[in-house]
Structure 1
Amino acid sequence: MCFANGQLLGDEKALKMWANEMWGYKDYRPLPLYKALAEDYYTKYMRNTKLFADVCPKTCKNFQFLCSGEVGDSQSGLKLHYKGSPFHRIVKNGWIQGGDIASGKGNGGESIFGDTFEDESYAVPHNKRGILGMANKGRHSNGSQFYITLQATPYLDTKHVAFGQLIEGSEVLQKMEDIPTYNERPKVECRIMDCGIFTP
């Protein structure tokens, strides 16, 4: 049985038809991977975050527009949208990382302001599970990659800009944390199936 948004779809065939109608999805992946995506789809979709725009307005704007995709393409032709991008790294007892909208391998990405932008503020501490922060390659190198902490990670303070907090979806975070890894790479593909701005 397959469910989406709390509604029973039916069997695997019904799920494929629904995915094709919603996103034009074609089942070209290996069956085990397809099943993992299908089983986890509903919970992965239901994730909400709170952004601290009063403290980090530029960083939050970057994340917001990458979620909505409304900026379109960058000057280099890269689609500035998280939709379809993978979570490529899981650091046990640390964080999960995604947002490489270029290659999906963790070595790329781009901000809505250009390749990178500066560190804005270190006011938000990494003091709990579910903190959102910008992954970087050193000071002032924020692009599109972000992480969500799995526990308090104070060693990231003053090195990475934290700008938000997960407020719904702790069960999803737990499922992702439990995924087996090899050299911090998840053995099961995890992708952002859809994303956007929540309007109450």
Structure 2
Amino acid sequence: MADREKDRRITDVGTLKALAHPLRAQLYRLLIIARTATASQLSEQVDEAVSLVSYHLRKLAAHGLIEEAEPRGDGRERWWRPASDGVSIRDEDFRDAPEKAAAHIAASRLFFEQRADMVRRYLDERAHWSDAWTSASDSSEWLLHLTPDELLELAKEMNALVRRYEEHGRAAMAAGDTEGRENVAVHTYGFPFRL
């Protein structure tokens, strides 16, 4: 197994389409959270047949998005892990041809809908979370006047900040500091709009 990259930049339509399948995107997200899992474990979380989950995991692996992990237990099941800590998908890599731009838009819409579903689920379940978690949860909107360069710099700074917290959480988990830790989704969007 190769050394892991921080974020894999997706620049080809084939890989983008492989990830932009609803079940594959969900499986990839679950692997990012779990770090390693089997098709059986993932099938329980997505309520799909193990054979279907295995098929989609192999498709993700064929595009280098996930890879086999070290076997655990009796070694009869294949273990999978993300091939990188995440992916980045940038508009500039898909705007040079109409079919590439269309694939990027379709993928972006799917990812947005899945993220929106996560927020809706949290809102539906909020009453079941502790006061500490509901007080710590955030939903903010800022309407700014920026240049493209300023928006790019803002995105870089926000990504660096979140990355520091991600690394801290992973290090704490690896050291056995799991008390009070939950999976946390942080979504940010920065885009121009006109009134």
Fold equivalence (TM over 0.5): no
TM-score (norm 1): 0.29
Q: Which has the higher strand share?
A: 1
Taking structure 2 as the reference length, the TM-score comes to 0.29
Question: Whose Rg is larger?
Answer: 2
More helix by share: 2
